[in-house]
């Protein structure tokens, strides 16, 4: 799928988690619901950091392009080092390492560790990164016609405001685990990455999300829906059916999360 659809699916997923958490008797404070939704929307773009032309690779100028090149090389090397005998050698790393659930969990755990260990500075950095990505994904039309600096300023302002709100007692910095402030921060990041892989599994190429589990003799087996149900990224199915569905389901879940928490 393309960036806007990935971001919408990420936002929908966290709103769904919010509704489920409220139904289970452990509702999210509203700042956690809002911040988590934006983080998840941004994180749903992150797996494409293995591709220089992706939205996330352009989001932070030369720095993100350099990181994309390095991540792409790493993914390529990991793929070639672990591929099965029936799997062809590759000269690029797109849709390999960063599109696996192992990568999603490791990235989320790393961000949680940083937030718990270094506190507010790390939280500000994490929120800034994902706020910028959320703007690039959810408001992509406006982001494309505005300057990068304006997008960064919006991301920085959003990160500063959200961190200030979350830091207030009862607003959710310690949601889920008492005395472990911001441990939950990795959850929307993991979820966003996983939702990205599920979205790519709907497309023609599929997604090797279950690596290194061998399937049909392949370690990088492209998991996906039945062939007749797949579509090309950016096709009408994505734009006319999936994106509206993500918005409706997300809105309903958000309302459910707020109502059930009341």
Contact, 206 vs 227, CB < 8 A? no
Both tokens of 108, joined, read 């989320």
Both tokens of 231, joined, read 């579509």
Q: What is the pLDDT of residues 101-150, one digit of tens each?
A: 999 999 999 999 999 999 999 999 999 999 999 999 898 767 665 677 88
Cis previous bond, 212, omega within 30: yes
Q: What's the pTM?
A: 0.94
Q: What is the pLDDT of residues 4-43, one digit of tens each?
A: 899 999 999 999 999 999 999 889 999 999 999 999 999 9
Residue among 110, 96, 106 nearest 212 (CA): 96
Count of residues in the chain: 262
Q: What is the pLDDT of residue 225?
A: 92
Instruction: Provide long-range contacts, Cβ within 8 A and 24+ apart, for 203-210.
Output: 203/1, 203/230, 203/231, 203/232, 203/233, 204/230, 204/231, 204/232, 205/95, 206/230, 207/95, 207/99, 208/95, 208/96, 208/99, 208/100, 209/99, 209/100, 209/101, 210/100, 210/101
The full set of domain ranges for the chain reads 3-260
Separation of CA 200 from chain center: 13
As a whole number, the mean pLDDT across the chain is 92
Q: What is the pLDDT of residue 145?
A: 57
Nearby residues of 9 by Cβ (< 8 Å), 6 or more positions away? 1, 44, 195, 196, 198, 199, 242, 246
């Amino acid at each position: 799928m393309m960036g806007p659809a990935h971001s919408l699916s990420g936002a929908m997923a966290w709103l769904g988690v919010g509704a489920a958490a409220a139904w289970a008797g452990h509702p999210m404070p509203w700042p956690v619901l809002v911040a988590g939704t934006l983080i998840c929307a941004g994180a749903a773009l992150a797996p494409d950091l293995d591709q220089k032309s992706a939205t996330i690779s352009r989001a932070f100028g030369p720095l993100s392009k350099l990181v994309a090149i390095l991540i792409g090389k790493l993914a390529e090397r990991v793929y070639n080092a672990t591929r099965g005998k029936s799997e062809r050698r590759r000269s690029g790393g797109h849709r390999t390492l960063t599109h696996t659930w192992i990568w999603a969990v490791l990235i989320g755990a790393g961000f949680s560790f940083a937030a718990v260990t270094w506190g507010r500075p790390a939280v500000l950095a994490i929120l800034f990164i994902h706020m910028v990505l959320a703007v690039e994904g959810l408001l992509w039309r406006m982001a494309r016609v505005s300057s990068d600096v304006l997008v960064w300023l919006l991301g920085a302002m959003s990160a500063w405001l959200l961190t200030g709100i979350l830091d207030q007692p009862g607003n959710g910095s310690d949601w889920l685990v008492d005395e472990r402030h911001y441990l939950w921060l990795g959850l929307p990041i993991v979820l966003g990455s996983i939702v990205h892989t599920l979205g790519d599994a709907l497309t023609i190429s599929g997604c090797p999300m279950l690596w290194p589990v061998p399937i049909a003799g392949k370690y990088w087996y492209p998991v996906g829906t039945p062939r007749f149900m797949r579509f090309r990224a950016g096709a009408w199915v994505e734009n006319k059916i999936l994106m509206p569905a993500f918005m409706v389901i997300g809105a309903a879940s958000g309302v459910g999360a707020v109502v059930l928490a009341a």
